[in-house]
Amino acid sequence: MPIRCQRSLIVCLCASLAWSQQVPPAASGTAKSASDPIAVMVGRLELERYKATIKGLTQFGDRRQGTDRNKAAIDWIEAQLKSYGCTNTERIHYDYQPTPRPAGGAGRPAGDPSVGPGGSRRRGNIFPDTVNNDPMKQPDVKLRELNSQPSTPGLREEVYCTKIGSKHPDQMYILGAHMDGIGWGEAANDDGSGTALVMELARIFSNPDVVTDVSIRFALWNNEETGLNGARAYVDQRKDMQGVESPAGSGKYPEPKWLGMIQHDMMMFDHGMPHKDGTMSKEQRPEADINIEYQVTSKYADAAMAMAHKFQLADDKYATDYPANVGPHMTNTDSTPFMDLTPSLSLREVERGAQMGSGWDPQHHQPTDVYSFYSDDDFRLGLNAAQTTLGAIAQLSGATLSAAK
């Protein structure tokens, strides 16, 4: 399928002019790759590999926390990370004991329905965001059976691995996604799409010829759907360990100082707003984009905004199909526990409050969130988000390619 131009008409005309100039297209692309190691790294991302990783996650159904299928998915993720060369995997352990949620759910406004989470303004038709808890709404009997074990309170685990920086191992960026889901589907988009993205970036950065100045951590959170509990446990356990060498004199830093945290949560479905009857377009909207959000009320809002625009510029340089837009209303995502401790972002398919809160993804927490529902255009949107993050983090971490041996 030919790549659709998502940029402005001016950019398209400029690209056409450059294409027609003296340097042949093949030679131009080769020269760019040879002179830009980040372009080489981004080129190692493949649509079919990204799809295969999402498909691998869906074998565990919705991966609801507190179930055997959740534990099996964590084991599988860790095995995949190790197979990529990210062998220093570790786990966070914590005890999850649920508490009753307030009426309406966390983060939902009690007053004006046009005000979305994080202070965003909802537009157009507004539909309720509900969670399916009825197993009989899942028509696939095998999937219904796979998802049948209920969640129970108790001990939880989540896995991460780290690319160690060659110059500053005591500093790092955190790339995250949550691997648990709900709704009696396969949690393919929420959040298999983000989990696969982070896993694919772990694969690229773990290649032996990739060298970074600072460290990068790849974290797959648990318990997001219950209130960001896995990310909160990580913050509570490790925020005071930042930058501490242990053992002293070893040159090892179990928790490097946080330079920034970037969450990836629902990356694939951008079909526009629902019609008045609640139905959706079956096709991706022509204006589909990647949404980069920071929270304007956070302690590190200015630094987060600056980092968001660096991601937007990286998208312009390295993403193949879709543009990126920056918004100030990041909310209800695993970057929230970090946002007053380090610059924090969330990458999504649509705006969390203004669009997501207006029903732009009817698969959200529903039995229809299954791998077979999504088209290659949907998967390609997620892949472009991976290109955007890889390009930005490679720049921020000082990534280079070592000479071939």
Per-residue pLDDT at 6: 42
Per-residue pLDDT at 248: 94
Per-residue pLDDT at 359: 87
Per-residue pLDDT at 22: 35
Per-residue pLDDT at 35: 87
Query: Which positions of the chain have pLDDT values less than 70?
Result: 1-34, 101-129, 404-405
| Calpha distance 277→127 (Å, rounded) | 10
Please return the burial class of 161, using the count of CB atoms within 10 Å of its CB with bins 0-12, 13-18 and 19+.
buried
Q: Is residue 377 part of a domain?
A: yes
Q: How many domains does the chain have?
A: 1
Q: Is residue 8 part of a domain?
A: no
Per-residue pLDDT at 259: 98
Q: Is residue 336 part of a domain?
A: yes
- The enclosing domain of 310 has a CATH number of 3.40.630.10
Q: Is residue 251 part of a domain?
A: yes
Write down the pTM of the prediction: 0.88
Per-residue pLDDT at 23: 35
Q: Which domain holds residue 353?
A: 49-401
Per-residue pLDDT at 34: 60
Q: Is residue 291 part of a domain?
A: yes
Q: Is residue 273 part of a domain?
A: yes
Q: Is residue 150 part of a domain?
A: yes
Per-residue pLDDT at 213: 98
Q: Is residue 23 part of a domain?
A: no
SS3 of the chain: CCCCCCCCHHHHHHHHHHHCCCCCHHHHHHHHHHHCHHHHHHHCCCHHHHHHHHHHHHCCCCCCCCCHHHHHHHHHHHHHHHHHCCCCCEEEEEEECCCCCCCCCCCCCCCCCCECHHHCECCCCCCCCCCCCCHHHCCCHHHHHHCCCCCCCEEEEEEEEEECCCCEEEEEEEEEEECCCCCCCCCHHHHHHHHHHHHHHHHHHCCCCEECCEEEEEEEECCCCCCCHHHHHHHHHHHHHCCCCCCCCCCCCCCCEEEEEEEECCCCCCCCCCCCCCCCCCCCCCCCCEEEECECCCCCHHHHHHHHHHHHHHHHHHCCCCCEEEECECCCCCCHHHCCCCCEEEEECCCCCCCHHHCCCCCCCCCCCCHHHCCHHHHHHHHHHHHHHHHHHHHHHCCEECCCC
